[in-house]
Structure 1
């Protein structure tokens, strides 16, 4: 357990918990929370026994309504702007008092839990909810303390989630009725006006992103698995890049699917469960997730086939962000406790709809820092109204919306980890297009991508001959077991080489433009890892 002097308790948390100590269900197990949800007509069981609920108006996070209290603790430490929106202590205190008065005397659910599988860096979190199914989510996504730990449990952070409480923006200082506010001085997260459970999970992730780097621990938005010999692989990637699919390997143990820390010599999961997207879920494509949806699991915002309680996973009429929450123990190959060694391989996944990047390439430390800062993927034409050609998406560190500090701080810490562990290989993996951009080329086969990743993990790819990509300067292997040599060099897959060069310059220029936001804070080493325009080299 993290000692009190490392993350001190706020002076008024104890008083608040005392005020909310009546009519409270404390530390209920999953089966009882499911029963209470059904008794209150707040959910329905599907044919496999999972609890299906609706989160109401909000089916995802609301980034513009996520605030951080700006005070002496955060004023100089937080990277303020569109991501980290400042809020005054006075506004926070007023909302806290209103929320407390709103729930006094009402039925509440309280849960003590941990965030962080490594006892050296975990924090104790107490959650107060107004519904049993929201408490069930916390049961799954956070780590349950042992009986001994519960006896000595001292809360270090409090999540106070009251979806029924609506703010008055004109009086309360919020943007609209819903809000999520982090107060680093008082060690509290207030959530009101939204029942979307992911706000709680990502609130604590943001807290750890602020606290852990102060102790040399790199927080990471990635999945992690482990081989039979203890080798660990990390998978970073934005939505649609294949992070969940590629990290789910029946021959390897799952450490975690979303949030991890890298300490001096360990990788550790922040969570005790998984929060998986289940739109278009199919038993053949994602058998581990499908099998995990069983009694005790929580399904959010799904619909049944008419006249049945069988979930129609292709139905996106409520949202495409349908989710399943379940304990990590529901995954057959899960590693518990969720801790592993320093990684042997790190994969940055990108779905490059421009058809420019190679299927796999090895990165230098500087390039790893640059691509970590970039966090690139692309949306394809036809996926959203108005998109007629590939659209770039950049999210620093593959999770910019969760970073309280400036992104270069995390990239620098990654570089330090790589320098301290030169045996770690970092790979850029394109799960997108080859032979042309989206609409002209073809999607890289998942079978080939799996073979490339397996070759990297096994060490076979180290034996290959590498050449530099002409624009991005990453090292491209010229052969790989289980993969045709003809697909490894992207320029060779284009019939029109001049068209490829123009497309490569277009993508490189987008990288360069995106990097301008970080150039001033970035080291010269990172700046030099920027791609070069081919037209300028002629």
Structure 2
């Protein structure tokens, strides 16, 4: 099947009498309730459950092996190939499945807040609540933009269509397939709405570097004087908490591009984890969950419909999707200048990384490629002690291109714009998990504030013996003894042993990279 026949088939679907296009939020909410897809909560948000798939399905994600993109993709366990023939076969089946539905919902919007680099998209959904989710997460057009809208990429989501692995060439009933030639994302067999969001992010991670734009899995904010900061970090490192600063305006929570003009948000909303959420701890998120928002797998009180954010009986991965407009203190539109400060967040459960250290360009590229944090005991089945976790560029599941492409772009931009880069450990101090204590949040906030305000630009530092990191000797608001992890342990030999063990894990992980400059490994990694 060629792109012309696919386009005509899609056009025929979109002209069907069952198509509901660009419905308003109130109308979509009514549809969700009428179709029994979800319920209304006390805050006015819609709550839906996603069945057995309460998170992404990385083993069911594919990229079509096509001539125009095949030699660019970093094929492997993350980017699994599937043939054009299998994709076309599934595409026909999914279109037929949707044609037989009573209603199909279409949202037209954009990915990318910068008008020079934004991509018009359309999202076609079997579920009304998925279409409401798309409205919250992607950028919504105004009336004039809608008149001129021509989708350059289409997401088609049909949760009730199940693949037959023996016939369709998939690993299971679920599939998330990107075709760069057909400009289509095909999703089936899963009700987890996050697959739509992350598929478009994967698409942008392929397309933006071709325009000399670094795509990044990070949050971003800007000070009132225009200084921009980026926050990279995996789950549990404090990225959302630290970037939500009352003294700075939020550019975006999760996905950004860094163009020759500056930073822009790829999304129009936020998709926040909400396990343990409270107004005291995270007031911005708590108050953003209102009418139009979507809660996934959050348990409700049967009588009051109040969310029980501490209840993880459905999943630990409870989520809230809401428009960025629901957040106070944001940048409108979601664009800003070039970053002055870049912060890599890690929650080191081994308690050996400094609470803050300044990185050279080579160290920044090394730690960007490493993407280190720790998984803690109890977070996943079978984990009984802290485990080192490495996610390339802090977002390996969403990177179609080789990792070095993104790292080289980061290094170039650090040089061009003289950005300061810091590694901040929000994990343990005074010993590993179970012995030491979690770094105090007020200490971490003080360190981040000092970095953002330039107070660490010329401060005296000491170089760590094992990781070679430049550790400030003084940070306003933080006791000096906290800054050097070796001095916080009661047993120096135990610290050295644990630090060398983690350094070795870094080295072992880095062996997976090929075609990486020796300077990055030699000058950026732990001291041999």
TM-score (norm 1): 0.95
Q: Residue 471 of structure 1: SS of its match in structure 2?
A: coil
1:84-105 Cα shifts (integer Å, max 9, x gaps): 0000000000000111111114
Task: For residue 387 of structure 1, report the CA deviation from its aligned partner.
Answer: 2.9
CA contact (8 A) 2:220 2:251 kept: yes
Counterpart for residue 16 of structure 1 = 9
Whether contact under 8 Å (1:44, 1:52) holds in the other structure is yes
What residue in structure 1 maps to residue 24 of structure 2? 29
Equivalent residue number for residue 4 of structure 1 = none
Greater shift in the superposed pair: 345-354 or 46-55 = 46-55
From 279, 284, 287, the equivalent of 2:280 is 284
**2:498 aligned with 1:503, yes or no?**
yes
How many residue pairs match? The answer is 524
Residue 124 of structure 2 corresponds to residue 96 of structure 1: no
User: Deviation of residue 529 (structure 1)?
Assistant: 2.8
Residue of structure 2 aligned with 1:270, choices 266, 269, 291: 266
CA contact (8 A) 2:340 2:417 kept: no
1:12 deviates by 4.1
Aligned match of 2:471 = 476
- For the 8 Å contact 1:381–1:438, the answer to whether it is kept is no
Tell me the residue number matched to 1:195: 191
- Decide whether the 8 Å contact of 2:363 with 2:525 is kept in 1: no
Matched, 1:521 2:528: no
Contact in 2 for aligned 1:26/1:109 (Cα 8 Å) = yes
The CA distance in 2 between the partners of 1:72 and 1:488, in whole Å, is 52
Quote the residue 1:531 is aligned against. Answer: 525
Q: Please list the CA deviations of residues 268-307 of structure 1 after superposition, one character each: whole Å capped at 9, or x if unmatched.
A: 0000000111111011000000000111111111111243
1:359 aligns with 2:352: no
Q: 1:142/1:385 Cα in 2 relative to 1: closer, same or farther (>3 Å)? A: closer
Match of 1:3 in 2: none
Q: CA deviation at 1:524?
A: 1.9
Shift of 1:334: 1.6
In the superposition, relative to structure 1, how do residues 385 and 112 fare at CA in structure 2: closer, same or farther (>3 Å)?
closer
In structure 2, relative to structure 1, the CA distance for the partners of 1:285 and 1:97 (3 Å cut) is: same
Q: Distance in 1 between matches of 2:269 and 2:238?
A: 19
Indicate the SS of the match to 1:166. coil
Which of 330-339 and 363-372 deviates more?
330-339
Equivalent positions of 1:452-491 (< 5 A) are 452-491=447-486
1:127 positional shift: 1.0
Match of 2:82 in 1: 87
Query: TM-score, length-normalised on structure 2?
Result: 0.97
- The answer on whether the counterparts of 1:19 and 1:104 sit within 8 Å (CA) in structure 2 is no
1:209-220 equivalences in 2 (<5 Å): 209-220=205-216
2:423 corresponds to which of 402, 424, 428: 428
Report the RMSD for the aligned CA atoms in angstroms. 1.3
Q: Within 2, Cα distance between the matches of 1:57 and 1:502?
A: 42
d(CA) in 2 for partners of 1:386, 1:126: 40
Q: What secondary structure does 2:300 align onto?
A: coil
Task: Return the alpha-carbon distance in structure 1 between the equivalents of residues 400 and 479 of structure 2.
Answer: 43
Return the alpha-carbon distance in structure 2 between the equivalents of residues 384 and 134 of structure 1: 27
Distance 2:182 2:524 in 1: 41
- Is 1:182 the counterpart of 2:178? The answer is yes
* Whole-angstrom distance in 2 between the partners of 1:382 and 1:112: 41
**Counterpart-to-counterpart distance in 1, 2:140 and 2:302:** 37
Helix, strand or coil for the counterpart of 2:191? coil
Aligned 1:335-414 pairs, distance under 5 A = 335-414=331-410
2:366–2:525 contact (8 Å) kept in structure 1: no
* Aligned mates of 1:459, 1:112 — CA distance in 2: 42
Q: Which runs of 5+ in 1 are unaligned?
A: 1-8
SS at match of 2:190: coil
**Conserved 8 A contact 1:11-1:186:** no
Taking the aligned partners of 2:20 and 2:380, their CA distance within structure 1 comes to: 44
Q: How far is the alpha carbon of 1:10 from its aligned partner?
A: 4.5
| Structure 1 stretch displaced more, 97-106 or 187-196 | 97-106
> Could you tell me which residue of structure 2 aligns to residue 121 of structure 1?
117
Report Cα offsets for 1:407-453 as digits up to 9, x if no partner: 1111011011111112x110000000111111111111000000000
CA gap of 1:383–1:326, structure 2 versus 1, over 3 A, is: closer
SS state of the match for residue 449, structure 1?
Answer: helix
Distance 1:397-1:429 versus aligned 2 partners, 3 A rule = same
